[in-house]
Each structure stands twice: as structure tokens, then as C-alpha cells.
Chains A and B, each alone.
Chain A
Amino acid sequence: MLILEVISIHKKTATMGLITSVFRLINKSLRDRKSNNSSLKDLFGKSKNVNISMNSLMNDIHHSKALYDVLKVKIHPDRFINTDKYDLSVSLFQELTLNKRNYTKLLELKKIAEQQLF
């Protein structure tokens, strides 16, 4: 009788152990899946973070042309022929022509020109 009880207790503990191990496995797989999903979210969430600022677009529309006209005269490489700043002026002028309608970039270029060219 006692032996039978011991066997039944052992069976119960074995099934409990089996159930807990299955639960652990399921839990682990769910956690892995969640972490994979978060990395996917990071990957595709980038498109949500693309924030086109309309205020900077307004600056581009209304102010970029005037600033470009000023800078293209100031930075023009012909003003720095036979000086050590010629190469820098060439690279800045190339960047200027690439970003002629980007006001924030033009402001950065202006700052660089004021610090390094003049």
C-alpha cells in the first residue's frame, strides 16, 4: 500500500515537472519571439521616425535662394586662387551647389566658411 502511494507521488511529481518544463520552454520561445519582434520593430520603426519638418521646408522655400546667392559669391574658389584655402573653398563650393535649396545645410556651410575661410 505504502509502495503504491510512493509510486503515485512520484508519478505526480514527474508530471508536474514535465508540465513546468513545457511551460518554461513555451515561455522562453515567446520571449525569443518578442525580442525578435522588437528588433523588427526597430528596423521598420525607422520609417515612422522620418519626420519631415514643414517649418524647415518653409525656410527652404523662402530663404534658401537669398542665402545661396550670398554664399556663392563669398565662397567662390576664384577668390582664393594661389592661397592655401583654395582646396577648402573648392570642396565647400561643391557642397554648396549640391545643397543649394537646403537652408539648414546652407547655414552650416556659412558657419564653416566663417570659421575656416575668413
Chain B
Amino acid sequence: MWYKLIEIFEWFGEMKERYQLVKDFNLASKNAFISGDALTLLEVKIVNGDRSYKHEFSKFFGSGLRLKALAGRPLKRDELIDIAKVILGNEQLVRKLIALGWDTLEAHDNVGFNGIKYALKQHANIGGYLNS
């Protein structure tokens, strides 16, 4: 029975880490936007991911990470791909996302229905060392 308690504590610890990552990203994005470094305001949200992208560590609820961009105009597909590729290019971050239970990365426009999604496990170089 005692090991169930440990599992519960671990679950809460992991949830805290997930929300801390989201909070850090949103805060950094907000600060960059306010100071004028960034032209677009980005926001990250936890959503339900694509079940076809699931892996062994993905959560059943909230396995998707949605990146919303507020640019004041509909963003082109290339721009959305660029934003998503920066995150996917950071292998440490992708591995952290996978370890924390995410499996899908979505990049969405604030206006319209444009959006792209990626399976995180394909970009983590699992089974290999980090490139950087």
C-alpha cells in the first residue's frame, strides 16, 4: 500500500514540473513581447494530443502542447513551421517534454484554423546522444 503513496507523490511532482514549464514559457514570451524583442505573442497551452502519436510515457489526458501565436494577422504555414521547428530543434527540450508526458506539439494561429502538429518522439533522437 505504501508504494501507492509514493506513486501519488510522484504524480503530483510531475504535474508541478509540467505546469512550471508552461508557466516559464508563457512568462518569457510575455516579457519578450512587452519589451519589444518579439513581434508575436506566443502562448503555450496543455491540450489533448493526437492518440496516434502516443508513446509509453504519454499521459492519457493533456498529452498535447499547443503553441498559440498572436501576430495580429493570420500567420502563414511557413511561419508556423518555423516557430515549431525551433522547439523541435532543441533536443533537450523535446526530451523533457516527452519525459513529462507530452507526445504532440501543435502550432496554431490565433486567427483562422491554420495549424500544424508534430509527433515529439520523432524529433527526440531517442536511442542516440544529443547533437548539441
Q: Which residues of A contact B (CB under 8 A)?
A: 50, 52, 54-55, 57-65, 98-99, 101-102
Contacts and interface: CB of A to CB of B under 8 A. Distances in A.
B52 interface: no
B83 interface: yes
Contact of A58 (B29, B92, B132): B29
B8 to A, nearest CB: 22
Contact of A61 (B83, B92, B96): B83
A60 B90 CA distance: 10
Interface stretch (B35-43, B53-61, B110-118, B119-127): B35-43
B93 interface: yes
B15 interface: no
Contacts, number: 50
A59 B31 CA distance: 12
A55 B28 contact: yes
Interface string B85-116: 11101101100100000000000000000000
A69 B27 CA distance: 28
B37 A58 contact: yes
B90 A52 contact: yes
B97 to A, nearest CB: 10
Contacts of B37: 58-59, 62-63
- Counting from the closest, the 5 A-B pairs by CB-CB distance are A54-B28, A58-B32, A101-B89, A62-B38, A54-B24
A60 B24 contact: no
Contact of A54 (B27, B38, B92, B131): B27
Contacts of A54: 24-25, 27-29
Interface in B13-69: 24-25, 27-29, 31-32, 37-40, 42
